[in-house]
Amino acid sequence: MPLPPPPVRPVFVNLGPRSYTVQVGRELLAGVGTEISKKLAGLKKAAVVTDSNVGPLYAEKVLRSLHAAGIDATLVTVPAGEGSKSLTWLESICNEMAKAGLDRKSFVVALGGGVIGDLAGFAASVYQRGIPYVQIPTTVLSQVDSSVGGKTGVNLPDAKNMVGTFHQPSHVFADVDTLDSLPKREWNEGFAEIIKHAAIKDLSMFDAIEQIAAGKGDLTALIRRNIAIKASVVESDEFERTGTRAILNFGHTLGHAIESAAGYGTLLHGEAISIGLSAAAWLSTMSSDLTSRELERLRLALAAFHLPLKVPEGVSDEDILRRMKMDKKFVHGEIRFVLLKKLGEAFVSNDVHEGHIKQALEEVRKG
């Protein structure tokens, strides 16, 4: 009988007084209460924020663990989907926290995917001017990306993530067992962010991605590898002041605009990012040194997870460009666009203009 793989080492996110640990592995939920009691000693009241899909699967286990550790935890549930990532639902969560008697000696647990992490983290950052929160991401996308780095926020009708804060979590539990319950489409969308990390920072990770696509490989190790990449970039530019962290936006400038223009919920976040990655990689062959062979490898990796490469019918260039201009990555009206020099090496360009982006959109309309 083969031996089980060794435990995966935690990832430490080194941000001075805002540092925290990301635990990566299986069967982590049962120990949430004990671990939080160590990290947030003396805090005995909490709100567990989740959604209508994740709550029935995992909320009871998390609540039981918290209660066993002597923590009075209240469950707050919002409807599943991008539509809940709004100022309206932020207000609702804060109201529920107030009704439950949470004060400055309380904390929030974000149990769910990226929408819940962003929404609950934002609620924690503004409730009573800021209380701690813990991330328990339950999707591939949130484990490898949004749960690490401290970006929280909500959408406006025309612009994604436009209202928010930087608020680092106190601890992150990336329990890979929770990924077993994901619908295939949601499982697949997370690999857009994994492929992005490989494209900007780690060429050799394409081999591991291709193994997973073939039904082989070590998923837990791949999740950790991605978290470590995200952590290293965040450590170098926590508040996006130096431009280093901007490379994480590869594929996102157009991806966010396409997601918004299509109507939130039409495309999953990772699906929109996949189209953005394809467009940005094509632009990298036009405006940088990425080869057509490297472009093909990236697109094949996306296609292996059934991720779209084509702008949906009915979404106009004009609407995409209008929404793109609202993006936070515009500085004094100029876009800072992330390109690839080669697979595994990204940079921020100030030389991409609207005409180039129209060409890229024309390219990704071909599929």
Which domains does the chain show, CATH number per domain?
11-181 (3.40.50.1970), 184-211+246-365 (1.20.1090.10)
- Give me the amino acid identity at 356: H
- Could you confirm whether 151 is annotated as catalytic? yes
Question: Of these residues, 85, 160, 171, 256, which one is catalytic?
Answer: 256
Q: What does the pLDDT look like over 267-295, one tens digit per residue?
A: 999 999 999 999 999 999 999 999 999 99
Q: What does the pLDDT look like over 76-86, one tens digit per residue?
A: 999 999 999 99
Q: What is the reported pTM? A: 0.93
Residue 117 has pLDDT above 70, yes or no: yes
- Could you confirm whether 353 is annotated as catalytic? no
- Give me the amino acid identity at 79: P
Question: Of these residues, 96, 186, 189, 193, which one is catalytic?
Answer: 193
Residue with tokens 């707050």: 76
- Could you confirm whether 256 is annotated as catalytic? yes
pLDDT band at 326 (very low <50, low <70, confident <90, very high): confident
Residue 151 has pLDDT above 70, yes or no: yes
Question: Could you give the C-alpha distances from 128 to 28, 47, 231, 235, in angstroms and in order?
Answer: 30, 14, 28, 27
Calculate what percentage of the chain has a pLDDT beyond 70: 96
- Could you confirm whether 328 is annotated as catalytic? no
Calculate what percentage of the chain has a pLDDT beyond 90: 87
- Residue 67: predicted pLDDT: 98
- Could you confirm whether 313 is annotated as catalytic? no
Among 183-187, 260-264, 309-313, 324-328, which is the least confidently predicted range?
Answer: 324-328
- 56-75: average pLDDT: 98
- Could you confirm whether 230 is annotated as catalytic? yes
Q: Are strands 337-342 and 345-349 parallel, antiparallel or unpaired?
A: antiparallel
Question: Of these residues, 171, 225, 269, 299, which one is catalytic?
Answer: 269
As a three-state string, the secondary structure of 77-140 is EECCCHHHCCHHHHHHHHHHHHHCCCCCCEEEEEEECHHHHHHHHHHHHHHHHCCCEEEEECCH
Question: Of these residues, 188, 225, 249, 259, which one is catalytic?
Answer: 249
Question: Of these residues, 82, 85, 96, 151, which one is catalytic?
Answer: 151
- 350-356: average pLDDT: 91
- Could you confirm whether 240 is annotated as catalytic? yes
